[in-house]
Structure 1
């Protein structure tokens, strides 16, 4: 409806994951990534904000910060794990930046957050993929995260 703010669905943890993927994307394309500054910027100006008429849910800032910081600090190890789940003819460098950020965030949660059930991690990041892509990419995210879960949580 024109002129009215529309509230986006999802809870604080879902909002944290979506924000974390966006922050990891920003870090990944930055010439001079500064994790604490990006985290602070997102918490102050983006998470829970109204953007283009959409009111976003307040995010779980603790989870958001943990995913961004943890995934960025462990990106080399996470990328190696992700690489092992891709088809031989699909190098990591071929991934679109946002898909790469989704995989890093999901891989981080699967390896470092045993308190979050595997199915929740996979479903949440498939939902994040749906926010940016069509069905094919979301299915790709599901398949890779499922493979990652089998090694990270075996």
Structure 2
């Protein structure tokens, strides 16, 4: 999907942002949410490519990936960081359960000649995760959701796709909230 060094840099960039997710979350909790969002996108990608079920992916991430290291260039390992595992699991379960509803929200923001299945798998995972938060997590500020997934899109792709994610999620926010 993406170079692990890019994963580290996206986490650092997201953690540097000043947007407050909620007055109730500490800096440590905000960082854990950032990591959860990133691995949520990875898990959605994995599920679509491998056809893995939601509960087995949640177990795999809990057992082997959270609080672990990611391999960087030349085999060096870098710490991924602590993730908000409950947030991650809630997102994955809800996205799978409400995928039809989430996909409609996304499809309404695509050009008339585009279908959701024509979009890159990683980009589709980013949009589904962002749409989930916008629709089902009103406790999270719209600006936070959009900013975090735009930064994730930048890490995986570049500015063009990030602008697309920004526009699509902004539209979804207007529809969902």
Scaled by the length of structure 2, the TM-score of the pair is 0.79
1:82 to 99, 102, 106: 106
Gaps of 5+ in 1: 1-5
- Calculate the aligned-residue CA RMSD, in Å: 1.5
How many corresponding residue pairs? 147
Residue by residue, what CA displacement relative to the aligned partner does 1:30-70 show, whole Å, maximum 9, x if unpaired? Answer: 23x31111011112211221111221111010111111111
Secondary structure of the 2:140 match is coil
Equivalent residue of 1:54, what SS?
strand
User: How far off is 1:21 after superposition?
Assistant: 0.7
| Secondary structure of 1:42 counterpart | helix
Q: Which residue of 1 aligns with 2:134?
A: 110
Is 2:45 the counterpart of 1:28?
no
TM-score scaled by structure 1? 0.90
Q: Secondary structure at the match of 1:51?
A: strand
Contact 1:15/1:47 (8 A) holds in 2: no
| Cα distance in 1 for residues equivalent to 2:154 and 2:34 | 13
Whether contact under 8 Å (1:12, 1:59) holds in the other structure is: yes
4+ residue segments displaced more than 3 Å: none
Give unmatched runs, 5+ long, in structure 2. 1-7, 16-30, 72-76
User: How is 1:96-107 mapped onto 2 (pairs within 5 angstroms)?
Assistant: 96-107=120-131
Considering fraction of residues, name the structure with more helix.
2
Q: Is 2:149 the partner of 1:121?
A: no
Matching residue within 48, 58, 62 for 1:43: 62
For the residue of structure 2 that corresponds to 1:82, the secondary structure is helix
